[in-house]
A and B are shown apart, each in its own frame.
Chain A
Amino acid sequence: MKPATPQNVVDLYFMDARSKLIDIAAFMDRVENAGLKDDFRYQAFLNALKELGEGERTKSVLESLSDPTKELIPEATTKAACGAWPGMDSL
């Protein structure tokens, strides 16, 4: 599917992406200034940043934050998800 009159997507999205990029930088400064860089979610975040180089970046970032196992877990002990898989260190 393609637009009938394609627009320049850099024109459309650069300022939004620039704003989010600065927010990411500020988040990293904030976490590290607070001495929380060892939090597994932050470590997963740093790993995900490595996926920004080339290829299908969105898919790769999402995969890097995902549970890579294939088996059902014995029991759900919580209903919530936190955005990063806590078992990555055990692999």
Chain B
Amino acid sequence: MRYIEPHAHMVSRTTDDYVSMVTAGCKAVCEPAFWAGFDRSSSKGFYDYFRQLTEYEPARAAKFQLPHFSWLCINPKESEDLALAQEVLDLIPEFLDKPNVLGIGEIGLNKNSRNEMTILEKHVDLAAKHNQLILVHTPHLEDKLKGTKLIVDLIKSDSRIAPNRVLIDHVEEHTVKYVMDAGMWGGITLYPESKATSPRAIDMLETYGADRLWMNSACDWGISVPLAVPYAAMEMRRRGYDDETIDQVFFQTPYNFLSQSPNFKI
């Protein structure tokens, strides 16, 4: 099979993971900017991180013949410090011309606070001014339902943003319809303990179709599985899906969204 991994934090992964992914049929990996697991002490840390995402990590992936793409932002977990967040926002435009950058992401909310929303609005404005795709992180667990609605409503209210250029990630059964009804794309994250399992992800595809829903591993420094996407393909085979449908779900659908960026070439 062939597949695209549309959300993976490869800076946290080993070269063994690159080997496994390419062996399983991965044709491209996309890496949103995210929280490092600790708060960075200054905007200089983000400058170095953005260089890592746009220079070093694509070169590391290329050693395994894997095209690497990235998204840029400050994660909502670090948005409570408005001054720091503004400094980081000011850094982003100089990186948007890098050849592997797909857009602004993964932006969004974490605890649904006022400052998080302020910085989300600034990210959306940045995307609109630079005609960038948007990748959205939705909050965890008990905060997801409220946060997803707040995020979708904010983006819908900005007439400069076309809904079909926005992907709302980490949808689950209680949020996926809200995203689909808004005309946006949805991402289902396959995690061992939270978010969704492969059987639940396939259930959602059977309800809402595969035209605007993709699956990702969102593998990072926490409990996560870099091969979760091809494992989900195996689960689809167990349910009786054919090769053509599996290719649609795991390659064509993410390709269709990502190729709205002129930088996504594979």
Q: Report which A residues bind B (CB closer than 8 A).
A: 1-7, 9, 12-13, 56, 58-59, 62-63, 65-70, 72-76, 78-85
Contact = CB atoms under 8 A, between A and B. Distances in A.
Nearest to A60: B174
Given A3-B241, A13-B199, A66 B174 contact: yes
A72 B206 contact: no
B241 A76 contact: no
B114 A75 contact: yes
Interface stretch (B10-18, B26-34, B135-143, B255-263): B135-143
Contact of A1 (B139, B200, B245): B245
Tell me if A's interface is mostly helix, strand, loop or mixed.
Answer: loop
Given A1-B210, A65-B142, A81-B139, A75 B115 contact: yes
Contact of B240 (A6, A62, A65, A69): A6
Given A1-B206, A3-B241, A7-B240, 7 more contacts: A4-B241, A12-B238, A62-B173, A63-B174, A68-B146, A73-B111, A76-B111
Given A1-B205, A63-B174, A69-B146, A81 B141 contact: yes
B150 A4 contact: no
- Number of chain B interface residues as a range: 35 or more
A67 B146 contact: yes
A7 B111 contact: no
A7, A73, A85: most-surrounded residue (chain B CB, <10 A):
A73
Given A1-B205, A1-B209, A4-B240, A73 B174 contact: no
